[in-house]
Amino acid sequence: MNMNLQFLAMTIFLTTIFFHIIRRNSYTASAYAVQSLAVVLLLFRSFLATGSLSMLLTVILVLAIKVFLALHLFSNFVKKYKPGVSATAYLNLPLTLIVVAALSAFAHSRVFAPLAAIVPENAALLSLGIAGMLISLLLMVNRKGILSQIIGVLSLENSIVVFGLFAGLEQSAILQIGIMFNILVWLIITSIFSSMIYRHFGALETAEMTSLKE
Amino acid sequence: MTEFFASSRGFVVLLLLFAIGAAGSLLFNKNDRQANYWSNLFACAGSLWGMFVAIGALVAPEPVAFTLGFSPFSLLRFSFLLDRLAAFFLFVISLIAFFCSIYAIDYVKHYYGKYGIGTLGFFYNIFIAGMLLVASAANGLFFLVAWEIMSVASFFLVIHDRDEQENIRAGLLYLIMTHLGTAFIIAAFLLLYRSTGSFDFSAIQSGGAAISPVVKNAVFVLSLIGFGTKAGIIPLHVWLPAAHPAAPSHISGLMSGVMIKTGIYMMIRVFLDLLAPFPLWWGVVLLIAGAVSALLGVLYALAEHDIKKLLAYHSIENIGIILLGLGSALTFLSLQLPTLALLGLVASLFHTLNHATFKSLLFLGAGAVINQTHTRNMEELGGLIRLMPQTALLFLTGSMAISALPPFNGFFSEWLTFQSLFQGIAATDSRTIWVFVIAAGSLAFTGGLALACFVKAFGAVFLARPRSNEAQHAREPSFFMLAGMWPLAALSLLFGIVSGYVANILQDVAGTLSVFQGFPSPFLLAETGRISAGGFSFVSPPVVFLLLLIALFAVFTAFNFLFFKKQKTTFGPTWDCGADLTPRMEITSTGFARSIILIFKGIMKPTMLKSVECRDGETRYLPKSREIRLGISNIYDTCLYKPAQDLALRFSLYARKMQSGLINMYILYILAALLGALYFSL
């Protein structure tokens, strides 16, 4: 198996775990930029293999939106709403790591063997991708702060891209550009909504918003 | 020519007529008059065309089957089957829709400026087209689409008069009940699909051997609940007495006359055509459901003083009678007595046709009365025979037909139902004989009580003196309303006189079903207008009609020449015990029904509210007026629907605990569901 590929996949997986460990939002935003950069490098490798110009365009767009724009937006977000943005979690760190380990084991279990067997030579990397998805979902479940949840969604999306790449399920460049546009719009809307929620409730912690029901 | 009507092109023209009627109605929405004429004339044209399509399919030597258009889904096919059974129901729907549409031209005028006539016309055309699609669909998914079109369109028609909160409530109850029924029907079709791998009726029929008895029984129960809800079988009937009165009267006529019969049609289609052979208990269940619905339906009708509710309860009663025929057909088939089964099915189909004619006539008659008097309360009517003589005669015709009085059509279909039940008593063993005895007893009771009920209804509405100012100023309805009712009255009589020929046609219709193939000697013989049930009994409708005519003529002549001619007529005031005769001295509909209701108080649980207003408030020695309000406890609400609602509410409150309001929790649910789904699917 290609060592570079392994390294990039491991980077993405480890940043997903890192999200759970760190308790500072600025580090979380930076970790997301690193994770996205790894995805960009994976896509760039795909461009080198195919020589497709549209793939190059995709790489540039991903770099611009997921790495630079997202980092910029999140950094501003953290600065602006520092008192309101929490990085606390429901589970303490040891317990969180136990659940992360359980999910990783589950992703490598027989249950997911049919998915990992899509491309047998990439089976380990595919399992890492699945583990990344599950751990990203756990981030959304476990964290109280809204920023961690936004990054959880984006990390989930990165894990899906990685899974798709290793499974040979790459979609057309047009579709990937469409997805990037979708993420761009989503980031903008999330930023606007977050600022509206903060203005209205004075907090960006989901635990504070239970009174929204009914 | 008949080949063209009963072809895909003929059917497309039929659908186009209703589509143009519906679209044009919306287009002319701002002009009530144009929308009214456009929608009803196209509905008339479509219905007339529908009758030709039905006749074409009835006389065609082979069933007409075709598929229209292209479906984006592999399981959904817009396939149609016009066999004789479907053609018969197409004919009944078209026939009643035709006369209701003529009636509607003048009837809907009272909505001008109040509600949009365009939307009424739109949903009216869609509703009729929906019913026709239901009767002709040959694919389960397509049928469900048609069923939904019919149900939703009829919901909007029920709430057309939306200023009344009661109508909105009735509409919502109807919507909930009809979708509850649809849920059961969907479950039934999914089970059939699981066993046969197709939603096509032909594939289900040919793959019947692959359906296990357990699945068949489950499909029967689900279908009975689903289609029974639409048909109004007790205790699934709760929407019917609320929704039918709420709708405009020509819609009530269509809903009561034909829409509820689509439930019966689908029962015949699914039970007899798709699922045969079947166990004995299916027929027994239908017989019991029919007996209960017939008896309780007429009892509840007796307790009503709302004329449209009374008629709605009679629909439940008549659905019960139809089920008695159908139930006996299923029972006989299970007992390997196909010739008797044919008799039961013919009785069922004949009563379907008859009930459609006289019930729509009665609803249209009631609509004419309500249009003039602005009340449905029979206690506020009375004396209309002098002000609305034609309507009174038409309503009397309908009343006689529904009360099964010869020579009207209701008598002959009930006679056939009786023959079927008597044959059940004579030909079956101890396992089923008691069911037939109870069913025959119930039908006998029902006949008597229906007569009493319509004596009450006709008497309270048309006889004696008007009991309200509105009733005093009523006038005969306008031309198109009468033009819609007269032919229905004529048909109620005609289908009675020629019932032998009609029974013959219906025997052909029923005989084409696969379960009756290969049995050449029918039990029912109808020659020269005479109906003979296996030599056991016979009746000759033309002779009955002639005898009654002769008897009437003889009585009239005898009175005229022997008594009246010799007597000198003097006019003077009626002796009134020294008091003025006022409408307050008349027997009310409540008073009329009270004694009968009290006999059945164990079943009906009547409630009585008495109030006395005194001239002297303190001593209360001199009563000024007494008021008695007789009601019926809604045992279905208290014993079935309320507990079910409470249970659902309790479950909802319990389930609401999941609704923490925490986004993390919702994502956790997603994660858990995802893991669970992956675990079980991979």
Residue ranges of domains in chain B: 279-560+587-599, 649-681
Contact A137 B667 (CB under 8 A): yes
- pLDDT mean over A131-152: 89
Q: What is the helix (H) or strand (E) element at residue B613, kind and residue range?
A: strand B606-614
Best CA proximity match to A152, nearest among A166, A142, A139: A139
Write out pLDDT tens, residues B550-575: 999 999 888 877 776 666 777 777 77
Q: Is the pLDDT of residue A196 over 70?
A: yes
Tell me how far CA of residue B626 lies from CA of A43, B306, B499, B622, B630, in angstroms.
91, 21, 49, 11, 13
Q: Which of A114, A141, A212 sits opposite B667 (nearest CB)?
A: A141
Q: Is the pLDDT of residue B583 over 90?
A: no
Write out pLDDT tens, residues B10-59: 999 999 999 999 999 999 988 999 999 999 999 999 999 999 999 999 99
Which residues in chain A are closer than 8 Å to B664, comparing Cβ atoms? 90, 140-144, 149, 206-207
Write out pLDDT tens, residues A29-38: 899 999 999 9
A214 — pLDDT class (breaks 50, 70, 90): very low
Alpha-carbon span B253 to B260, nearest angstrom: 11
> Which of B656, B658, B659, B668 would you mutate first to test chain A, the one with the most A CBs within 10 A?
B668
Alpha-carbon span A86 to A90, nearest angstrom: 12
Q: Is B660 on the interface with A (CB under 8 A)?
A: yes
The gap from C-alpha B488 to its chain's centroid, in whole angstroms, comes to: 16
Q: Is the pLDDT of residue A64 over 70?
A: yes
Distance from CA of A170 to the nearest CA of B (A): 22
- pLDDT mean over B327-334: 95
Distance from CA of A195 to the nearest CA of B (A): 18
B327: Cβ–Cβ under 8 A, 6 or more apart, which residues? Answer: B283, B284, B285, B286, B287, B288, B289, B290, B344, B439
Question: Are B174 and B155 contacting, i.e. CB atoms less than 8 angstroms apart?
Answer: yes
Name the residue with higher pLDDT: B672 or B352: B352
Angle at A9 between CA A8 and CA A11, to 5 degrees: 65
> Which of B667, B669, B674, B679 would you mutate first to test chain A, the one with the most A CBs within 10 A?
B667
**Unique residue bearing structure tokens 């079935």:** B640
Write out pLDDT tens, residues A146-158: 888 888 989 998 8
Please tell me what DSSP assigns to residue B534.
T
The angle that helices B260-267 and B213-231 make with each other, rounded to 10 degrees, is: 160
Question: What is the token pair recorded at B26?
Answer: 């919306």
ipTM, interface predicted TM-score of the complex: 0.81
Contact B664 A112 (CB under 8 A): no
Question: Are B363 and B256 contacting, i.e. CB atoms less than 8 angstroms apart?
Answer: yes
Question: Are B120 and B160 contacting, i.e. CB atoms less than 8 angstroms apart?
Answer: yes
Query: How much is the mean pLDDT over chain A?
Result: 84
Write out pLDDT tens, residues B496-545: 999 989 998 999 999 889 888 877 666 666 666 778 777 677 888 888 88
Query: How much is the mean pLDDT over chain B?
Result: 90
Q: Is A92 on the interface with B (CB under 8 A)?
A: no
